[in-house]
Amino acid sequence: MATALTRKDFVSDQEVRWCPGCGDYAILAGVQKMMPEFGVAPENVVFISGIGCSSRFPYYMNTYGFHTIHGRAPAFATGLKVSRPELDVWVVTGDGDGLSIGGNHLIHVLRRNVDLKILLFNNRIYGLTKGQYSPTSEVGKVTKSTPLGSVDFPFNPLTVALGAHATFVARTVDVEQKHLGETLKRAHDHRGASFIEILQNCNIFNDGAFNDVTDKGIKAEHQLILEHGKPLIFGKNRDKGIRLNGHRPEVVALGNGVSESDLIVHDETNLALAFMLGNFEAPLPTPIGVFYATSRPTYDAAINKQLAEAKSKQGPGDLRKLLMSGDTWTVD
Amino acid sequence: MAVPPEAAGQAAESRGGSADAPHKRQEKRDRVVIRFAGDSGDGMQLTGMQFTSESALAGNDIATLPDFPAEIRAPAGTLAGVSGFQLNFSSNEIFTAGDEPNVLVAMNPAALKANIDDVPPNGVIIVDREAFTDANLKRAGYSGNPLTDHSLDKFQVIQVDVTKMTSSALHGSGLSNRDVFRTRNMFVLGMLSWLYQRPIESTIKYLDARFKKRPEILEANIKTLKAGYNYGETAELFTSSYEVPPAKINPGLYRNITGNSATALGFVAASVKSGRPLFLGSYPITPASDVLHELSGYKNFPIYTFQAEDEIAGVSSAIGAAFGGAIAITTTSGPGMNLKAEAIGLAVKTELPIVITDIQRAGPSTGMPTKPEQADLLMAIYGRHGEAPLPVVAAATPADCFECAYEAVRIALKYMTPVILLTDGQLANGAEPWLVPDPDQLRDIKVELRTDPEGFLPYIRDEETLSRPWAVPGTKGLEHRIGGLSGENLTGNVSYSPANNELMVRTRARKIAGIAREYPPTEIFGDTGGGDLVILGWGSTYGPIREGVKQLREKGKRVSHIHLRYMNPLPRDLEDKLRQFKKVMIAEMNMGQLLKLVRADYLIDAFGFNKIQGRPFKVSEIVNRANRALEG
């Protein structure tokens, strides 16, 4: 490339219109900051979204963008990526868009392993429709549509993705800019469907939903940063770890006979471990980072390979020959 | 052309026949309608299609109507499992598969029972006698045996021991009883091929290809086919065979084609002529799946086929591909249309070219998936929230599906709009001879992708067509965002301005309305200077209406036919043409949807003739209704 790309190359001229204080600003800033590092020219990047607060995202990127309909962004993106595999295609969705109305498309795009970067902003609430519970809201959640508390058992985005055999599954946090950037980089480097759950604060309808992992005073005790090949250690003084007790993970204090070698070592290629980490609930800490990464042929590449093979075997399509195929007869 | 009641009426002397004559008489017929009926597993569709190929190769004009149950395999021998295939072949031009069969082939009692009401008196019924066992009779709901209780006396019943003869022909072949039984349909095909002097070479060629890897099955099928043919010649059931001489049709290269095949080929042709790759996003649904199957075989063109997780993903993936510059198609039937409505609205708003093919079937809800209907017209034109106009094109015959598919793509690209192509289950599976077009003679489809950033705006418009530029990702300097939210004129930026919203709604409507400018003049078959009655139709009713009007005109009636291909916008000359007639009758396989449009748009006091039975109009129904209208 003649001149190096900068953040400004990816900033559109549109005024950003999320509520002041929304976590989406931080995610947008993080993505715009990282894009130049990926080295893909803006004209070869496409952001596709569905409906919801998160789905306004494409308007703010100076790339190609398509704000589609509720829940269906993965399907639009699949059509584009399959027929234009050279493009860098991103999907931006939320917990309602991606896991409720669009749950079907999400699991299918993941199992097919279409080479898309999927960012799911999880704020555990419906924001655009002003405050109903979402498929990731906790049981008991009091919202406008659940005045007596929700009785609806929630989805866990990560284990849904793992269950759909996604080839790259990660979690990061809106305000953790460095971690967000690193995770985006990992996702972008991955060939295949990369799924990132981004914990995102909705300061209007669900403020503080992820306080335990974002509050500077306490987050170190609740946040477990996953690193491939390293033991699971957390805590302000890095004095706590995760150990297996039989088949069950437990928090242990390091010292007093417990050493790092007793702890679980993170292995991104281990699906069973990824499931276990994905299911961590208090008192276990909230893991962030890459849970799972594996390599599998992508759907778009496989389809294009079939097309190329058909062409080399049969030659390029011959319309005249095709129209004249089958049982023909001539009338004089 | 009148249907001669005697067409194949005296096709055979039944029960006995003359004892001499190894060389039998040959009689001429100008038109025969045969219906093959049997259990779903009896291979009646295959038999019918092969007989069709043989007849096409013999130079006849043909029209077919398959009629199969939705159940994959209903219990053997039951009425629910009866599968039928009707073929009309003629030495004259024909338009329908025929009102009623001159010859019914019934492979078992259920097939007889399900079809007997359609056979006219003195019609020929050929049955496999051995299939009329007590058990089979009971399964079909017969209390006695119609072959012996004289209930069929008004027909000419020919009883053939098909099963026994098939077994004899394959004696010593080493095949299982089941495999032997499965070749029974070839015996019938051979017998009918002799009776109507069809060449069986094309069937042998077909069998060669189909059973290439199973030589023992191939040999058995050919043996049985020939046994049936020879049986026809030597047995004493038939006193003569019949010749249906070739029809006088335009010279050229022909092939037999179904509507679904023609639709698929139309899309391929449009892709080749426009120089853009084809992308089909589709979810399997009856009766549309064959288009997906067929296009999946042409990957080298290149053609992308994506079997989506649902109907919504089918259309959405197509819109995504259109955003990327592909010729984007989705195929479906009624239930799928409902699901796709929201995405189609997005394509209207973002002005992206896709073709949505609705192969209509009888509704509402799941309805009768294998039966045709025309009740999706208003949904196609209006079935989206908001003001979301789009062009609708409807095919009239199986071969016309090619031209309509091609035309739908052409309009979509020229005007940057989604287009709905309507066919139906009858066109989809029905077949007719098709004069194979020369690709060089097809109308040009020009595609100019925008590349120049100078003065580019996503919704800047061509002055004539009002279409916006196709600016696809990967083009430097044209980065832009589109979406479903109301957009500002030219830039497309999100806008809630009231005046701007109205401007955009009206602009899109004007763009669609303007498409009618380039239609060819509406043709009147009949009295071009006005007459007593015009029958207006669209879609697959073309055949029966045209045939009916021909018959009426031969009797001196001043009845004419106008058939629409462009359903939205309607042709600009249509109102004037309709007003030339004293009466306007609109025949549709629905409750009167085109009727509503004509009455609303033109204030013309047209009346409807409607049939909602999952079956096409019979020619006689059109003729009778028209006669009543002329009297009234």
Nearest to B99 by CA among B196, B243, B2: B2
Rounded (to 5) percent helix, strand, coil in chain B: 40, 20, 40
**Whole-number pLDDT of residue B1:** 29
Q: How confident is the model at residue B574 (pLDDT cuts 50, 70, 90)?
A: very high
Contact with chain A for residue B473, Cβ under 8 A: yes
Structure tokens at B579: 């007003």
DSSP B237-267: S-SEEEE-PPP---SEEEEEEEHHHHHHHHH
By C-alpha distance, the chain A residue nearest B318 is A79
Contact with chain A for residue B390, Cβ under 8 A: no
pLDDT tens digits, residue range B178-230?
A: 999 999 999 999 999 999 999 999 899 999 999 999 999 999 999 999 999 99
Q: B196 and B235 in contact (C-beta within 8 Å)?
A: no
With a cut of 50, say whether residue A107 has pLDDT above it. Answer: yes
Q: Reduce the secondary structure of B527-557 to three states and give it as a string.
A: CCCCEEEEEEEEHHHHHHHHHHHHHHHHCCC
Q: Percentage of chain B surpassing pLDDT 90?
A: 87
Q: A240 and A252 in contact (C-beta within 8 Å)?
A: yes
**Whole-number pLDDT of residue A328:** 84
Residues of chain B found within 8 Å of residue A81, distances taken between Cβ atoms: 320
With a cut of 80, say whether residue B145 has pLDDT above it. Answer: yes
Q: B316 and B356 in contact (C-beta within 8 Å)?
A: no
The C-alpha atoms of residue B290 and residue B297 are separated, in whole angstroms, by 11
Report the half-sphere exposure of B184 (CA within 13 A, side-chain side).
26
Structure tokens at B11: 């096709």
Indicate which of B295, B300, B327 best probes the interface with A, i.e. most A CBs within 10 Å of its own CB: B300
The C-alpha atoms of residue B601 and residue A36 are separated, in whole angstroms, by 56
A109-141: b (≥16 Cβ within 10 Å) or e: bbbbbbbbbbbbbbbbbbbbeeebbbbbbeeeb
Contact B473 A44 (CB under 8 A): yes
Q: How far is B416 from chain A (nearest CA, A)?
A: 16
Separation in Å, CA B349 to CA A69, B284, B300, B387, B449: 12, 27, 33, 10, 19
Separation in Å, CA A156 to CA A56, A99, A103, B343: 24, 9, 12, 28
With a cut of 70, say whether residue A22 has pLDDT above it. Answer: yes
**Whole-number pLDDT of residue B73:** 65
Three-state SS at B226: helix
For residue B37, list its beta bridge partners: B84, B106
**Whole-number pLDDT of residue B523:** 98
**Whole-number pLDDT of residue B9:** 33
Contact A327 B255 (CB under 8 A): yes
B53-81: b (≥16 Cβ within 10 Å) or e: bbbbbbbbbbbbbbbbbeeeebeebbbeb
By C-alpha distance, the chain B residue nearest A89 is B473
Separation in Å, CA A247 to CA A41, A231, A234, A276, B356: 47, 17, 20, 10, 53
Section A36-40 average pLDDT: 96
**Whole-number pLDDT of residue A2:** 53
Q: How confident is the model at residue B611 (pLDDT cuts 50, 70, 90)?
A: very high
Backbone angles phi, psi at A152, to 5 degrees: -95, 115
Number of CB pairs, chain A paired with chain B, less than 8 A apart: 211
Beta strands A64-67 and A88-94: pairing type? Answer: unpaired
ipTM above 0.90, yes or no: yes
By C-alpha distance, the chain B residue nearest A319 is B269
Q: A220 and A236 in contact (C-beta within 8 Å)?
A: yes
pLDDT tens digits, residue range A174-207?
A: 999 999 999 999 999 999 999 999 999 999 999 9
Contact B301 A76 (CB under 8 A): no
Beta strands B124-128 and B61-67: pairing type? Answer: unpaired
Backbone angles phi, psi at A278, to 5 degrees: -65, -25
Contact with chain A for residue B474, Cβ under 8 A: yes
Residue B175, class by beta-carbon neighbours within 10 Å (0-12 exposed, 13-18 middle, 19+ buried)? middle
With a cut of 60, say whether residue B28 has pLDDT above it. Answer: yes
pLDDT tens digits, residue range B493-509?
A: 999 999 999 999 999 99
Section B6-24 average pLDDT: 39
pLDDT tens digits, residue range B504-534?
A: 999 999 999 999 999 999 999 999 999 999 9
**Whole-number pLDDT of residue A148:** 98
What pTM was computed for the model?
0.93
Q: A90 and A44 in contact (C-beta within 8 Å)?
A: no
pLDDT tens digits, residue range A234-275?
A: 999 999 999 999 999 999 999 999 999 999 999 999 999 999
Angle at B450 between CA B444 and CA B454, to 5 degrees: 140
Section A37-56 average pLDDT: 97
Contact with chain A for residue B300, Cβ under 8 A: yes
With a cut of 60, say whether residue B16 has pLDDT above it. Answer: no
The C-alpha atoms of residue B242 and residue B196 are separated, in whole angstroms, by 5
Nearest to B534 by CA among B545, B544, B543: B545
Backbone angles phi, psi at B280, to 5 degrees: -115, 120
The C-alpha atoms of residue A6 and residue B199 are separated, in whole angstroms, by 74
Backbone angles phi, psi at B31, to 5 degrees: -165, 135
Altogether, the residues listed in chain B come to a count of: 632
Residue A181, class by beta-carbon neighbours within 10 Å (0-12 exposed, 13-18 middle, 19+ buried)? middle
Q: B288 and B331 in contact (C-beta within 8 Å)?
A: yes
The C-alpha atoms of residue B597 and residue B454 are separated, in whole angstroms, by 44
Angle at B101 between CA B97 and CA B102, to 5 degrees: 125
Three-state SS at B235: coil
For residue B490, list its beta bridge partners: B459
**Whole-number pLDDT of residue A270:** 98
By C-alpha distance, the chain A residue nearest B253 is A330
Q: How confident is the model at residue B21 (pLDDT cuts 50, 70, 90)?
A: very low
Section B3-13 average pLDDT: 33
Q: Percentage of chain B surpassing pLDDT 70?
A: 96
**Whole-number pLDDT of residue B57:** 87
With a cut of 60, say whether residue B14 has pLDDT above it. Answer: no
Residues of chain A found within 8 Å of residue B277, distances taken between Cβ atoms: 83
Indicate which of B57, B257, B316, B478 best probes the interface with A, i.e. most A CBs within 10 Å of its own CB: B316
**Whole-number pLDDT of residue B20:** 42
The C-alpha atoms of residue B145 and residue B142 are separated, in whole angstroms, by 7
Beta strands B252-258 and B431-435: pairing type? Answer: antiparallel
With a cut of 60, say whether residue B6 has pLDDT above it. Answer: no
Q: How confident is the model at residue B4 (pLDDT cuts 50, 70, 90)?
A: very low
Q: How far is A47 from chain B (nearest CA, A)?
A: 9
Backbone angles phi, psi at B156, to 5 degrees: -100, 105
Instruction: Give me the residue from B268, B300, B321 closest to A314, CB to CB.
Output: B300
The dihedral built from the CA positions of residue B179, B182, B185 and B187, taken in this order, carries a sign that is: positive
Nearest to B540 by CA among B437, B620, B428, B433: B428
**Cα of B578 vs its chain's centroid, Å:** 27
DSSP B490-520: BT--B---HHHHHHHHHHHHHHHHHGGGGPP
Angle at A80 between CA A173 and CA B380, to 5 degrees: 115
The C-alpha atoms of residue A87 and residue A82 are separated, in whole angstroms, by 10
With a cut of 60, say whether residue B8 has pLDDT above it. Answer: no
With a cut of 70, say whether residue B13 has pLDDT above it. Answer: no
**Whole-number pLDDT of residue B71:** 62
> To 10 degrees, what angle do helices B215-234 and B201-210 make?
160
Residue B209, class by beta-carbon neighbours within 10 Å (0-12 exposed, 13-18 middle, 19+ buried)? exposed
Backbone angles phi, psi at B34, to 5 degrees: -115, 135
pLDDT tens digits, residue range A277-288?
A: 999 999 999 999
Q: Kindly give the residue spans of alpha helices, DSSP state H, lying in A235-284.
A: 271-278
